[in-house]
Structure 1
Amino acid sequence: MSTTLYVCTTCKADEVHEDDAQRPGAVLHRALTAAGAPEGVEIVGVECLSACKQGAAVALSEPGKWTYVYGRLSAEDAADILQGAAAYAATDDGLVTWRERPVIFRKQSLARIPPFTLPKEPAA
């Protein structure tokens, strides 16, 4: 399986843009695809990650792993985002140790979502 790096292409980051192609999310998506995905990672543009007040936003996901959503990102963060995506892809469960995460992933995490394979009963 491969890791998917979802990039919200409609994120405005509280800016006004007449041209949708100039939205911060679209600019970030172009920067990431131009830089190229790390091995085991696919970059996919999506229309909304519902993090509008925290855009531009990305999400890292893979079946059986924790999913992460990060916000307040820009095209200047592309290298760090790709480094973080590579570290995520290299894990079995999506949990990258704190020190191995790029600083933007340490400080700009919006959500951590458990894999769908976790038991649905609360832990004791």
Structure 2
Amino acid sequence: MKLTPVAAGPAVVACSTCRLTADAREDGDGRRGGALLVAALHAARAADPAYAGVAVQEMPCLFACADFCTVHLRAPGKVGYVLGRFTPDEAAARAILDYAALYAASDTGQVAFKQWPTGVKGHFITRTPPEGFLVE
């Protein structure tokens, strides 16, 4: 394993090798769900300046294989989240980035439930504390 430095700041790190669904690894054209979600995230970010403050990054395998099409939302000094079980399409990408923009604007990474886009509800897998902190 080699670690590659990236710019600090709010980011959605998408698993590029995730399964397409719980039952299928790839679509009919041989594309993995993770690769499709990465492409949808990049396209949505490029199409809307509201997402400029959130980087879209990718890496192979987030080790959340039971929860296909996963992303890790992170930022320095903020609680992180892993979300999954998305359909790798534009609607999911926009919901993820809508939430990520709210996350980036928050002080601690917590976003009030009433602000959550419908498309992320039910997709949270884990919450992780930032380095050097615990959540009370």
Both structures adopt the same fold (TM-score exceeding 0.5): yes
What is the alpha-carbon distance in structure 2 between the residues aligned to residue 25 and residue 47 of structure 1? Answer: 9
**Count of matched residue pairs:** 121
Q: Percent identity among equivalent residues?
A: 36
Could you say which residue in structure 2 is the equivalent of 1:118? 133
In the TM superposition, what is the alpha-carbon distance from 1:33 to its structure 2 partner? 0.2
Could you say which residue in structure 2 is the equivalent of 1:44? 57
In the TM superposition, what is the alpha-carbon distance from 1:46 to its structure 2 partner? 0.9
Could you say which residue in structure 1 is the equivalent of 2:78? 65
Could you say which residue in structure 2 is the equivalent of 1:26? 35
What is the alpha-carbon distance in structure 1 between the residues aligned to residue 122 and residue 27 of structure 2? Answer: 30
What is the alpha-carbon distance in structure 2 between the residues aligned to residue 106 and residue 18 of structure 1? Answer: 25
In the TM superposition, what is the alpha-carbon distance from 1:93 to its structure 2 partner? 0.5
Could you say which residue in structure 2 is the equivalent of 1:8? 15
Q: Which runs of 5+ in 2 are unaligned?
A: 1-7
TM-score after normalising by structure 2: 0.79
What is the alpha-carbon distance in structure 1 between the residues aligned to residue 27 and residue 39 of structure 2? Answer: 18
In the TM superposition, what is the alpha-carbon distance from 1:106 to its structure 2 partner? 2.7
Alpha-carbon RMSD across the aligned residues, in angstroms, is 2.3
Runs of 4 or more, structure 1, over 6 Å off, are 18-21
What is the alpha-carbon distance in structure 2 between the residues aligned to residue 81 and residue 35 of structure 1? Answer: 10
Matching residue within 101, 114, 117 for 1:102: 117
In the TM superposition, what is the alpha-carbon distance from 1:4 to its structure 2 partner? 1.0
Deviations along 1:35-59, one digit per CA (max 9) or x if unpaired, are 1161311000110111111110011
SS at match of 2:121: helix
Range that drifts further, 20-29 or 39-48:
20-29
In the TM superposition, what is the alpha-carbon distance from 1:6 to its structure 2 partner? 0.4
In the TM superposition, what is the alpha-carbon distance from 1:103 to its structure 2 partner? 2.4
Range that drifts further, 65-74 or 97-106:
97-106
The alpha-carbon distance between structure 1 residues 99 and 6, as it changes in their structure 2 partners (threshold 3 A), is same
In the TM superposition, what is the alpha-carbon distance from 1:20 to its structure 2 partner? 9.2
Range that drifts further, 100-109 or 50-59:
100-109
